[in-house]
């Protein structure tokens, strides 16, 4: 029995999506205030998260369910390595360190992969469709805010995907054709919401660095009003 998982995920994570957009770091980002030190710490965490996710997906590429949404052209690890080289230099591997929230996120990905691989669908949805949905807008914001000249935003570039909208449609179709029942679909939606929460914790960790750089008054001014949600420009956490 097939279920409309794509719609369930979109509707079932709408509240989490709006909450993520209202995290201070994201609100500042969307308004064009991006501070290089906090941003490179985010890139660091994303590197560890995607490395774990893509390693597990590779191991499970023949799994009855995971194989259906296994698209290596989505992989972000190499792109993030390019960005880390730009922000930290050639010895970036010795410079970077995962944060507590990033570590918890990675541990959850490993746990899910080992115990209930189907739930990785929720993590892939939350990250990859978000990357595809808002990536180009976020790339422009980051480049303008940090005065970048074509470097430092490889994360948002999908060289192996010619038509991002068509690919998202293909991905949603693949999710809808997964051999899962309603109960499993609901469990995947719950996991996707948990993934949003893990992303929000990573964003929250960055607020201290951002406030140090821009000052409390500007931070408060940028984050005072609550967004109602519905944009497609959130910092890479799921399309809604």
Q: Judge whether 31 and 225 are in contact, CB under 8 Å.
A: no
| Residue-number span of the structural domain to which 91 is assigned | 5-223
CATH number of the CATH domain containing 37: 1.20.910.10
The tens-digit pLDDT sequence of the chain (240 residues) is: 568 999 999 999 999 999 998 999 999 999 999 999 999 999 999 999 999 999 999 999 999 999 999 999 999 999 999 999 999 999 999 999 999 999 999 999 999 999 999 999 999 999 999 999 888 888 999 999 999 988 999 999 999 999 999 999 999 999 999 999 999 999 999 999 999 999 999 999 998 888 888 898 899 999 986 665 544 444 555 565
Residue 237 lies in a domain: no
Residue 178 lies in a domain: yes
**The total number of structural domains that make up the chain:** 1
d(CA 32, CA 145): 6
Nearest alpha carbon to residue 203 among 77, 14, 21, 15? 21
Residue 229 lies in a domain: no
N-term to C-term CA, the chain? 25
* Tokens 């507590």, residue located: 100
* Tokens 């957009």, residue located: 21
Please report the pLDDT score of residue 73 as a whole number: 97
d(CA 227, CA 18): 7
Please report the pLDDT score of residue 7 as a whole number: 96
Residue 217 lies in a domain: yes
pTM of the predicted protein model: 0.92
Please report the pLDDT score of residue 231 as a whole number: 46
């Amino acid at each position: 029995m097939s279920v409309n998982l794509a719609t369930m995920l979109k509707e079932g994570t709408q509240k989490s999506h709006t909450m993520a957009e209202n995290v201070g770091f994201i609100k500042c980002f969307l308004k064009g205030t991006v501070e290089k030190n906090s941003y490179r710490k985010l890139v660091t965490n994303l590197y560890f998260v995607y490395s774990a996710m893509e390693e597990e997906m590779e191991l499970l590429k023949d799994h009855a369910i995971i194989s259906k949404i296994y698209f290596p052209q989505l992989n972000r690890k190499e792109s993030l390595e390019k960005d880390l080289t730009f922000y930290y230099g050639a010895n970036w591997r010795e410079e970077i360190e995962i944060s507590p929230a990033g570590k918890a996120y990675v541990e959850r990905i490993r746990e899910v992969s080992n115990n209930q691989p189907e739930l990785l669908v929720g993590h892939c949805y939350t990250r990859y469709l978000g990357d595809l949905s808002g990536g180009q807008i976020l790339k422009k914001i980051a480049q303008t805010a940090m005065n970048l000249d074509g470097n430092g935003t490889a994360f948002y570039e999908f060289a192996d995907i010619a038509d991002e909208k068509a690919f998202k449609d293909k991905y949603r179709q693949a999710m809808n054709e997964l051999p899962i029942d309603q109960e499993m679909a609901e469990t995947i939606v719950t996991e996707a919401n948990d993934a949003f929460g893990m992303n929000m914790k990573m964003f929250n960790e960055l607020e201290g660095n951002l406030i140090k750089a821009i000052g409390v008054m500007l931070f408060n001014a940028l984050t005072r009003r609550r967004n109602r949600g519905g944009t497609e420009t959130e910092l890479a956490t799921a399309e809604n």
